[in-house]
Structure 1
Amino acid sequence: MLSAYLEETIQFKDTVSSWEESIHIAAAPLLAKENINDSYVDDMISNIHEFGPYVIIVPGIAMPHAQNKGGVLENGMSLLKLEKPVAYPEEKEVKIVMVLAATDSSGHLELISDLASVLADEEIREELENAQTKDEVLRIIDSAE
């Protein structure tokens, strides 16, 4: 299921200037597909300012998300892979940013469950960190699901 969501929303970038920029860039494909609107991006950033780096689900991987207050129009997920890590609050370094957009909490839980099963394997996380192409990322996730 994850690979179906990520098929058209994977991006690669060398570096970003801030964690906020990483979220803006990671969310751009979901904005373009009209899964989310700008208010959802603002909500994700505000949450991290307010609650800290709770979105870092495993070392090096952040999953920004927020409660749907009208900003999520359709479930979706996107992935931004950075060559150089960006520092999130508390100096936590992140190289993979996966934006989660869910219209309701049940869609949210299903996606998180799938993602958790993929990221629970350290070897798979390492493969993702080293992936250089969209097809490589999709293959890694497919093999883990």
Structure 2
Amino acid sequence: MTTSNESSLPDEAILLGAHADDWRGAVRLAGDALVAAGITTPVYSDEMVAAVETLGPYIVIAPGFALAHARPSAAVLRTGISWVQLDEPVVFGHAKNDPVDLVAGLAAVDHDAHLGIMSTLARALADPAVMTLLRETGDAAGVRRALGLD
């Protein structure tokens, strides 16, 4: 099993077939996975939800995909991501990219620390075959493989 120190996306940070009742629940799942992997404290989940409440559904950056994040803060212990594959899509309120069935949680210790992870996610989002694989995979290793993080 991958430990939190070995990967920016450890097993503990990956939830597959998870259920959320709404966008807040989906963001909280991503936050809970960051906490489980030792990437953030629970406060960061609140900060991610507050960011969407304040700024709107700007985190829905591609069809069916949301990148949940907040500003770097003391609640971020190290840079990393979580991955949530929802069993049922949820609505965030985005005019073009709703509903969402994939949510990545991103935590960075500073504004530059996340650039490598963003590059990896951008490659995945640009490839429809990779996105299909991410929606269908049933194991953490498959998520890391699809994202090129294995």
Q: Which residue matches 1:129?
A: 135
**Residues 139 and 109 of structure 1: CA distance in aligned 2, closer, same or farther (over 3 Å):** closer
Structure 2 counterpart SS, 1:127: helix
Distance 1:103 1:14, change over 3 A: closer
CA RMSD of aligned residues (A): 2.0
Among candidates 65, 69, 76, match of residue 61 of structure 1:
65
Aligned amino acid, residue 7 of structure 1: P
> Does structure 2 retain, via aligned residues, the 8 Å contact 1:15–1:86?
no
Amino acid at match of 1:15: H
Q: Tell me the distance in 2 between the aligned counterparts of 1:33 and 1:140.
A: 20
Report the CA distance between 1:14 and its aligned residue: 4.5
Matched, 1:5 2:12: no
The percent identity for this pair of structures is 30
Displacement of 1:62 after TM fit?
0.6
Q: Does 1:138 align with 2:138?
A: no
**Structure 2 unaligned blocks of 5 or more:** 1-5
Give structure 1 stretches of 5+ with no counterpart: none
Whole-angstrom CA distance in 2 between matches of 1:21 and 1:84: 12
Report the CA distance between 1:39 and its aligned residue: 2.1
Letter in 2 for 1:68: P
* TM-score normalised according to structure 1 size: 0.87
Question: Is contact 1:76-1:100 (8 Å) kept?
Answer: yes
Cα distance in 1, alignment partners of residues 120 and 35 from structure 2: 23
Structure with greater proportional helix content? 1
Q: Which moved more, 1:132-141 or 1:62-71?
A: 132-141
Report the Cα distance in structure 2 between the residues aligned to 1:98 and 1:40, rounded to whole angstroms: 14
The count of aligned residue pairs is 142
Asked if the contact 1:61/1:95 (under 8 Å) is kept, the reply is yes
Q: Using CA pairs below 8 Å that are at least 6 residues apart, which structure has the higher relative contact order?
A: 1
In 1, the alpha carbon distance for the partners of 2:28 and 2:93 equals: 16
Tell me how far 1:105 sits from its aligned partner.
0.9
Give, in whole Å, the separation in 2 of the partners of 1:14 and 1:110.
26
